[in-house]
Structure 1
Amino acid sequence: MGKVSTFSPAQQAENTPSKVVASLERLSEAFRVLLWQEATQYGLSPIQIQVLTFLLHYPEEKRTVTTLASYFNMTKATISDAVKSLEQKNYLTRKASPTDTRSHTLHLVKEGRAVAKKVERFADPLQETVAQLSAKDQSGLLEQLMQLIYQLNQQEVISTQPMCFNCQSYTEKKGHYCNKLKISLNNGGLRVDCPVFELREE
């Protein structure tokens, strides 16, 4: 007899990991629904919204097709198509690298920035729901989710994320601690996407 599916109600009834996976799948559905609703309203695709949001907040050196493809776990071709469409909508422009003419950084123009500030709010309902949890529960949930992401990184299911557990400056000294910033990362201080991240050497 083969392995029972995680999505079988009978399996879930007796298996906690299956219920956790099913719950995460429902949450991913909520994320997709919110993203599609925003995309439809502004005549964009979900990935175009994600690209606009990324470009709104990340430094120039990270605003490349290669970085976007790695960040969103998509092919360069998929990201390039999204970028081309956003160019055609006059939301962004490309800037050639002074050292490598084959490489470009992406820059939002005025209208693109305005749209990005509107569409990035698609996740507000999720943010508001999480905010209703106690501070302790928020911190616990953050740590557990980051542990799941870390394990998926290790299994190469998704690309390595620039978060504490993958960083060479992270240590478990009296809990979670950053040696670079010299700060405790306890009580919700762990970072999913850190600007001073340095990949830990294996």
Structure 2
Amino acid sequence: MGKVAIFNPVQQAGNVSSKVVAALERLSEAFRVLLWNEGKQHGLSPIQVQLLIFLLHYPPAKRTITFLASYFNMTKATISDAIKSLESKQLLVRKAMSGDSRSHTLHLVKEGKTLARKIEKFADPIRESVTLLPGGKQEELLECLLSLIYHLNQQLVITPQTMCLNCRFYTQKDGGHYCNLVKAALQSGDLRVDCPEFQLPTNNE
């Protein structure tokens, strides 16, 4: 038998992994619709919405064109164009990095912060749907999603995410999750999608 066509409804019906992929595609469409609708209300593109939200919450070291391009899996040129548009809307400014006047960090101005706080609620309908799941199911879903992201990272489909499963401090111990930084076991609900203490494994690890 040949390979199952993921988006063929007949073949999909008898293949659980294909149905999971199809379901994830529907979820990605939900995010896309919510982003577009939010952006249209404020004259922003979807990536501009995401950039404003990112710049609101992340430290200066990560607020650079290079980091943003890697984080959002886009080219520097695409991110740079989006940033220029946000500059023209007077929502952010660039500040030269100390010791290197050619490199800049990005900073939201007051109007940019106000707008970012407003638009970051675009994903609330999805979060509300997640909260309808029993607590144990939410943790199970988180663990499964992080595992999927990890394998996509390993296949170089997307850049390595700063989550527990990719971190040098993470290991599996006694059949569970363990963080060598805090020297403690982690429950599924403790796993982080984006950790401030994240470090990539060294070549020796």
- Pairwise TM-score range, normalised by the shorter structure: over 0.9
Percentage identity across aligned positions? 65
Cα distance in 2 for partners of 1:185, 1:74 equals 32
Q: Which residue of 2 aligns with 1:168?
A: 168
Q: Which residue of 2 aligns with 1:66?
A: 66
Encode CA deviations 1:30-65: one digit per residue, 9 max, x unaligned. 000111110011110000000000000000110001
Q: Which residue of 2 aligns with 1:177?
A: 178
Between Structure 1 and Structure 2, the one with more strand by share is 2
Q: After alignment, is 48-57 or 128-137 more displaced? A: 128-137
Q: Is the 8 A contact 2:142 2:188 kept in 1?
A: no
Count residues in correspondence. 202
Shift of 1:4: 4.3
Cα distance in 2 for partners of 1:105, 1:127 equals 31
2:134 alignment partner AA: S
Q: Would you say 1:128 and 2:128 are equivalent positions?
A: yes
Shift of 1:173: 2.1
Name structure 2 gaps, 5 residues minimum. Answer: none
Q: Which residue of 2 aligns with 1:97?
A: 97
Q: Would you say 1:16 and 2:26 are equivalent positions?
A: no
Q: Is the 8 A contact 2:171 2:177 kept in 1?
A: yes
Alignment of 1:106-121 (within 5 A): 106-121=106-121
Encode CA deviations 1:61-89: one digit per residue, 9 max, x unaligned. 10001111000000000000000000000
Q: After alignment, is 76-85 or 94-103 more displaced? A: 94-103
Q: Is the 8 A contact 1:153 1:159 kept in 2?
A: yes
Shift of 1:157: 0.2
Shift of 1:185: 1.9
TM-score (ref. length: structure 2)? 0.95
Shift of 1:102: 1.5
Q: Is the 8 A contact 1:136 1:187 kept in 2?
A: no
Shift of 1:23: 0.3
Q: Would you say 1:5 and 2:13 are equivalent positions?
A: no
Q: Which residue of 1 aligns with 2:187?
A: 186
Q: Which residue of 2 aligns with 1:195?
A: 196
